[in-house]
Chain A
Amino acid sequence: KAGVTQTPRYLIKTRGQQVTLSCSPISGHRSVSWYQQTPGQGLQFLFEYFSETQRNKGNFPGRFSGRQFSNSRSEMNVSTLELGDSALYLCASSLVLGGAGMDEQFFGPGTRLTVL
């Protein structure tokens, strides 16, 4: 089975721009979570989607948004980029049978976003 894939792997943007990152979960997985990883703040939870619905979100400003499609693929968008948004963005998928809240998460390789 193919693992979690994220595209693009690397991205360079300038302040004020917006960016869209994509995540394809493992086949059959319906839950997708997004995390931001920075040296200063570590791994921070952004949000989780299940069956196209956001079930949970972390403490990030509204500039960070996401969505999930019917095939469980997910995108996250960051608008009006700031220097502090430079980070590794990780996507994780889970099987969550029966719509359970939590299960083992499988992580993708991440998208490295650099904001200049």
Chain B
Amino acid sequence: AQSVTQPDIHITVSEGASLELRCNYSYGATPYLFWYVQSPGQGLQLLLKYFSGDTLVQGIKGFEAEFKRSQSSFNLRKPSVHWSDAAEYFCAVGARTNAGKSTFGDGTTLTVKP
């Protein structure tokens, strides 16, 4: 079965500081991994995805994530946070054999201090 753990419910960083959001997944085979961002009352926007290949993935809005199979992790990073990055972030895992289903973590709420 697929599962995702986001250990941090809430993170606060100062504007301009670096950011790392943690994600650990559980899946027996090669996972498909995603990071999404959700602003209040909105749908989910895909930041980046990993299906195979290079384990360092670049996404939109200056985000990147690194897939570490040995640690079952897919942490999201950004070198310098902007006030507009304040939102809720979700890590998700899917699989080619599990049609159309992503399993989501509980999310991490990011607050950005001026």
Contact = CB atoms under 8 A, between A and B. Distances in A.
Interface stretch (B15-23, B37-45, B74-82): B37-45
Interface residues of B, number: 26
A106 to B, nearest CB: 7
Q: Kindly state the interface size class of chain A when it binds its partner.
A: 20 to 34
A102 B46 contact: no
Interface centre among B94, B97, B101, B106 (most CB of A within 10 A): B101
Interface in B70-114: 90, 92, 94-107
B96 A100 contact: yes
A13 to B, nearest CB: 19
Nearest to A49: B100
A43 B92 CA distance: 10
Contacts of A94: 100
A110 B43 contact: yes
A104 B100 contact: no
Contacts of B103: 45
Interface stretch (A14-22, A50-58, A78-86): A50-58
A34 to B, nearest CB: 9
A33 interface: yes
Nearest to B49: A104
A42 interface: yes
A107 B44 contact: yes
A72 interface: no
B96 A42 contact: no
Contact of B32 (A35, A102, A110): A102
A12 B95 CA distance: 35
A24 interface: no
A102 B34 CA distance: 12
Given A42-B104, A107-B46, 7 more contacts: A31-B100, A33-B102, A50-B99, A56-B98, A102-B97, A102-B102, A107-B45
Interface of A: 4, 31-33, 35, 42-43, 45, 48-50, 55-56, 58, 90, 92, 94, 96, 100-102, 104-110, 112
